[in-house]
Amino acid sequence: MITFTVNGSQQSLDIDPSTPLLWAIRENLQLTGTKFGCGVAQCGACTVHLNGQPVRSCVTPIAAAQGALVTTIEGLESAEGDLHPVQDAWIAEQVPQCGYCQSGQIMSAVALLEQNANPDDAAINSAMSGNICRCGMYGRIRKAIKRAAGESVVGVFDPKANNPQEASNV
Amino acid sequence: MSKLGKWSRRGFIAGGVVVGGGLVIGVALRQGDRRGDVISSVTTDGDELLNIWVKINEAGEITAIVPHSEMGQGAQTALAQMLADEMDAKWSDVGFEEAPATDDYANWALGKGFILGDAAVPEVLVPTVDGAFYQVAKAMRLQITGGSASVRTTGVHGMRVAGAAAREMLIKAAAGKWQVAESELTASESVISHTASGRTATYAELASAAALFTPSPTPKLKDVADFKIMGKYVQRHDIPSKVDGSAQFGIDAQVPGMQYAAIKAAPVFGSAVASVDSSKAEQRAGVTQVVNLGNAVAVVASGYWLAEQALKDVDVKWTATSNDRVNTESLREQFRKDITDAATNGTSESDVELGNYAEAFAAAERVLEATYEVPFLAHACMEPMNATASVNGDMCEVWVGAQNPMGFRYEVAAALELDPENVTVHQHFMGGGFGRRSIADSAIQAAMIAREVGTPVKLIWSRAEDMQHDIYRPGVASKFRAAVAADGQVLAWDNVYHEKHEPAEAPVIPYAIAAQHIHYTDSPTHLPFGPWRSVDHSQHGFFTEAFFDEVAEAAGEDPYQLRRKLLADKPRHLKVLDLAAEKAGWGEPVAQGKGRGISLQESFGSLVAQVVDVTLTDGKIGVDRVVCAVDAGFAVSPDGFVAQMESGISYGLSAALYGEISVENGAVQQTAFHDYPVVRMQDSPVIETHILNSGETIGGAGEPGTPGIAPALANAIYQATGTRVRKLPVSQYDFNYRVEEQEELI
Ligand code: FES
Ligand code: FES
């Protein structure tokens, strides 16, 4: 039995501990915002936060999440339902095309901005190099990251995932 | 407007009251001789048969019903803009729905209706349809080309007419209600006003009364000067759901009782399962069944990861085929031999024969010769192929993202020998299409597996499966000769290639060269091929525009200036070319180790010029900037249009820099992004797009950005390195060494 917190709510899953976190999130918890793109840590579509760090959930065994805090795209909004400033910036810059890579892009961008409030181009390149966008929206992603940084609100925003509630099981 | 008037007379437009009150207007398009079919269908089955375009309900919500699938191109928003503007609707009142693939009538109306003039089925799609559904397939073309066709066909011919007709009916309703002349009324922001008396009424209030009028088949359309929503910045409707994880892609479908399947198809196309030992896999916890599909084996389990793990334990032997010795080099040799033989033996077929080219070559001071090559390419959509299916007796449901939901329905029905009436396709967002999602292979597999196991099944292809079982952009060789006179005049252009598909004009050049011979032959392979963003333009854009620069050099001319000279009678081309050159600073000195290249390409009714800047560092090419000028007639949704250019350029750049599918012992080798690299953040150039609204017929947006990037890049690399890139991808060159011209001058 693996017990962990996803987007603020506690979950217990009785599954093979080597199951990748990606499939536990998508299939067992039915949170489908996190995407499968390659399964081999090459595309970033599956990016989630594990204790605040961005990880490729397709190669992270669920066992690694024991007792941890997991944040997915669905957990970025505030408890009141406001979009995260990075999500707002994504809309303002009209970033997504097909949109399939964007959950992963946004999770990587949020992690970057939490660690570096004002990233330069080199910092953006290195933080985002693991996230492929086949629709080629890299220019817009870069602009959206800079927009969110410019508004200096990422540090003070409080995603609902950061507010663990008392046990609620699936 | 003359074109539209002609169309409208051949079209069909109808209006009526919908359940609960409100107005609905539909337009069905069809070829001139199909009027009888449409009318009889309509009179027997009521307005359900129409391809409905717009509904206004009594709450004032205006819904555009859009017969195109969303794969990222944002066309749905542009289409809604066209409707709303002609209606004088308030933009915030307007939403859209995707036309249901489950509704026979809507789709048959599409099938019968959306055929414009000479639209033909792209040759690459013919194998996917069989006789009876040929007409449907013709219509599919318009769905398939998505971003490149939706605005210029559906939008121009359907959305605007429906919007304008609705506006006229609402005005009539108000005139009747207030007993005033229609000419005294104005429409704006979903309200009709009578200025003299100060009376106003909302569209919601007038909808039911308006529905009693017959819509005009030829409503007056706005002049460009009166556009309020078309051509303006609006935010795309689909974007909010794509930033919060709520957008539902095919892979996200959840069906009660669903199991998961992983699949491995025969590594060599044409091979089949010879034997399968599934005993070990079936012992694994969670595995319910191993299914032999004849040319593929699937494992069904309670979770996808379990299925994927167990698949590795299935021991499959595949039958030998005559293709088992095919490899990349043997294919290249075959292509080069076939085009050379066809040219020598005179067995090629001609696209263009102009002037006396044989004489021109004989008279030339210099004859330039070069062979260009491109490799096979995968689509590598971000969302791997997948489909969820449920089969119950003779009923089948499929949940999938399809570029042609209607075609999927017929293909699944045919494969399972079901009545198409009993097959329902639930259309989802597509995580990239690029042509790949016009083929129903994964949907058919899912349905067959679901039938076998008796529960709903979600089939997901691994990334390796997706790479190795694509319908590829074919590998192609193209051989050129050009004749140049002593004074630098370009006398003749000869080009022989293989793989003639769509669009037919892809190898044709716009330049005024008096003698031309453009011809082709066949060189079939066992690899399946299909539409890949911009289709044949994806190779010919590179071939013709890169070789053109070689010709310019031989003629002693600047490549931009020679293009200008040979486009003297094509003002629209010149404007686009000049704009890109000006914005990019063409003619300014380029530093040592840097290069600047230009290209011009007309495709899908749009003209695109690109100027690319590169820097050579330690033998590697970095792409710094792409300046793109485009004339698509009129950009209805300018920001969405710019995004499409950026996307098309980036897609073409991935292919130009890195894309290569290789074949060994008949099988595709690539498995993921380490051996099929794509552009990432750090190698993505700044892309500047400049739109020219010439007012010409609206052209496409989704594909025209793609063909011009590879040649402009190759031309820039030549300046930076002295090496002519004649074979893609660029990544195979080591620019520490200058590759001398190998095939010049006779
Ligand atoms: S799916 Fe995890 S990195 Fe691609
Ligand atoms: S938006 Fe389509 S892959 Fe990024």
Query: pLDDT tens for residues B7-17?
Result: 222 344 555 55
Question: What digits encode the pLDDT tens for the residues B84-132?
Answer: 999 999 999 998 776 554 333 233 333 333 332 223 333 332 222 222 2
Distances (CA, A) of B675 to A47, A125, A143, B717, B734: 21, 21, 29, 23, 18
Q: How confident is the model at residue B151 (pLDDT cuts 50, 70, 90)?
A: low
Q: Is the confidence at residue B37, as pLDDT, over 90?
A: no
Query: Higher-confidence residue: A49 or B138?
Result: A49
Under CATH, which architecture does the A2-74 domain have?
Roll (3.10)
Question: What digits encode the pLDDT tens for the residues B727-745?
Answer: 999 999 999 876 555 544 4
Between CA B540 and CA B480 the distance in angstroms is 12
**Average pLDDT estimate for B21-50:** 39
* Domain range list for chain A: 2-74, 85-148
The predicted pLDDT at position B101 comes to 46
- Contact check, Cβ <8 Å, B260/A139: no
Between CA B345 and CA B693 the distance in angstroms is 47
Q: Is the confidence at residue B512, as pLDDT, over 70?
A: yes
Mean pLDDT of chain B: 85
**Average pLDDT estimate for B488-498:** 97
Residue nearest to atom 4 of ligand 2 (CA): A133
Max Cα–Cα distance, chain A, nearest Å: 44
pTM: 0.90
- Contact check, Cβ <8 Å, A134/B252: no
Q: Which ligand lies nearest the alpha carbon of A48?
A: 1
Residue A51: CB atoms within 10 A of its CB come to 12
Helix (H) or strand (E) holding B176: helix B160-178
Between CA A134 and CA A141 the distance in angstroms is 13
**Average pLDDT estimate for B698-711:** 93
Type of residue at A28: N
- Contact check, Cβ <8 Å, A98/B383: yes
Distances (CA, A) of B341 to B332, B333, B336, B523: 14, 12, 9, 11
Q: How confident is the model at residue B159 (pLDDT cuts 50, 70, 90)?
A: confident
Here the ipTM equals: 0.96
Measure B30 CA to nearest chain A CA, in Å: 30
Measure A106 CA to nearest chain B CA, in Å: 8
Tokens of B417: 């020998």
The predicted pLDDT at position B79 comes to 82
Write out residues in chain A with pLDDT < 50, as ranges.
167-170
Q: How confident is the model at residue B474 (pLDDT cuts 50, 70, 90)?
A: very high
**Average pLDDT estimate for B464-470:** 98
Question: What digits encode the pLDDT tens for the residues B176-212?
Answer: 999 999 999 999 999 999 999 999 999 989 988 888 8
Distance A56 CA to ligand 2 centre (A): 17
Question: According to the CATH classification, is domain B250-321+385-460 in 3.20.20.70?
Answer: no
The predicted pLDDT at position B48 comes to 27
SS3 for B662? coil
Measure A138 CA to nearest chain B CA, in Å: 6
User: In A, residues 69-88, which contact B (CB 8 Å cutoff)?
Assistant: 72-74, 76-77, 83, 87
Between CA B273 and CA B320 the distance in angstroms is 10
**Average pLDDT estimate for B56-65:** 80
Which fold would CATH assign to domain B329-376+472-745? Aldehyde Oxidoreductase; domain 4 (3.30.365)
Between CA B106 and CA B509 the distance in angstroms is 40
CB of A97 within 6 A of ligand 2: the answer is yes
Q: Is the confidence at residue B81, as pLDDT, over 60?
A: yes
DSSP annotation of A62: G
**Average pLDDT estimate for B294-306:** 98
Question: What digits encode the pLDDT tens for the residues B217-260?
Answer: 778 889 989 999 999 999 998 899 999 999 999 999 999 999 99
- Contact check, Cβ <8 Å, B643/A34: no
Tell me which residue of B48, B50, B44 sits closest to B12, measured CA to CA: B50
Between CA B555 and CA B487 the distance in angstroms is 8
Between CA B303 and CA B321 the distance in angstroms is 34
SS3 for A11? strand
Residue with tokens 């006003």: B193
Q: Is the confidence at residue B164, as pLDDT, over 80?
A: yes
Q: Which ligand lies nearest the alpha carbon of B434?
A: 2
- Closest atom, ligand 2, to C-alpha of A98: 2
CB of A100 within 6 A of ligand 2: the answer is yes
Between CA A109 and CA B473 the distance in angstroms is 33
How do beta strands B457-460 and B476-484 pair? unpaired
Between CA B603 and CA A47 the distance in angstroms is 37
The predicted pLDDT at position B25 comes to 66
Which fold would CATH assign to domain B4-243? Aldehyde Oxidoreductase; domain 4 (3.30.365)
The predicted pLDDT at position B479 comes to 98
SS3 for B458? strand
Type of residue at B572: R
Between CA B253 and CA B236 the distance in angstroms is 23
Cross-chain CB nearest to A90 (options B243, B433, B687): B243
The predicted pLDDT at position B483 comes to 98
Question: According to the CATH classification, is domain A85-148 in 1.10.150.120?
Answer: yes
Q: How confident is the model at residue B156 (pLDDT cuts 50, 70, 90)?
A: low
- Contact check, Cβ <8 Å, A83/B244: yes
Q: Provide the CA B53 distance to its chain's centre, in angstroms.
A: 23
Tokens of B172: 């009539």
The predicted pLDDT at position A67 comes to 97
Residue B733: CB atoms within 10 A of its CB come to 18
Task: Return the percentage of chain B with pLDDT > 70, whole number.
Answer: 82
Looking at chain B, the domain(s) classified CATH 3.30.365.10 span 4-243, 250-321+385-460, 329-376+472-745
Between CA A46 and CA A68 the distance in angstroms is 17
Judged by average pLDDT, the poorest of B70-74, B206-210, B577-581, B686-690 is B70-74
Tell me which residue of B581, B583, B615, B585 sits closest to B598, measured CA to CA: B581
Interface mutation vs chain A, best among B234, B237, B382, B686, most A CBs within 10 Å: B382
**Average pLDDT estimate for B418-439:** 91
Say if B401 is an interface residue toward chain A (CB within 8 Å). Answer: no
Cross-chain CB nearest to A37 (options B239, B254, B382): B382
The predicted pLDDT at position B122 comes to 32
Tell me which residue of B88, B25, B525 sits closest to B270, measured CA to CA: B525
Between CA A62 and CA A16 the distance in angstroms is 8
Between CA B614 and CA B607 the distance in angstroms is 23
| Chain B neighbors of A33, CB-CB under 8 A | 244-246
Q: Under a CB-based contact definition with an 8 Å cutoff, are residues B704 and B538 in contact?
A: no
The predicted pLDDT at position A83 comes to 96
Q: How confident is the model at residue B22 (pLDDT cuts 50, 70, 90)?
A: low
Among A134, A138, A141, the mutation site with the greatest number of ligand 2 atoms within 8 A of its Cβ is: A134
Q: Is the confidence at residue B403, as pLDDT, over 70?
A: yes
Q: How confident is the model at residue B168 (pLDDT cuts 50, 70, 90)?
A: very high
Q: Which ligand lies nearest the alpha carbon of A44?
A: 1
The predicted pLDDT at position B375 comes to 98
The chain B residue lying nearest A129, using CA atoms, is B681
CB of A101 within 6 A of ligand 2: the answer is yes
Q: How confident is the model at residue B4 (pLDDT cuts 50, 70, 90)?
A: very low
The predicted pLDDT at position B64 comes to 78
Distance A102 CA to ligand 2 centre (A): 6
Q: How confident is the model at residue B404 (pLDDT cuts 50, 70, 90)?
A: confident
Say if B467 is an interface residue toward chain A (CB within 8 Å). Answer: no
The predicted pLDDT at position B99 comes to 59
Tell me which residue of B58, B60, B57 sits closest to B90, measured CA to CA: B60
DSSP annotation of B741: P
Type of residue at B294: G
A-B CB pairs within 8 A amount to 178
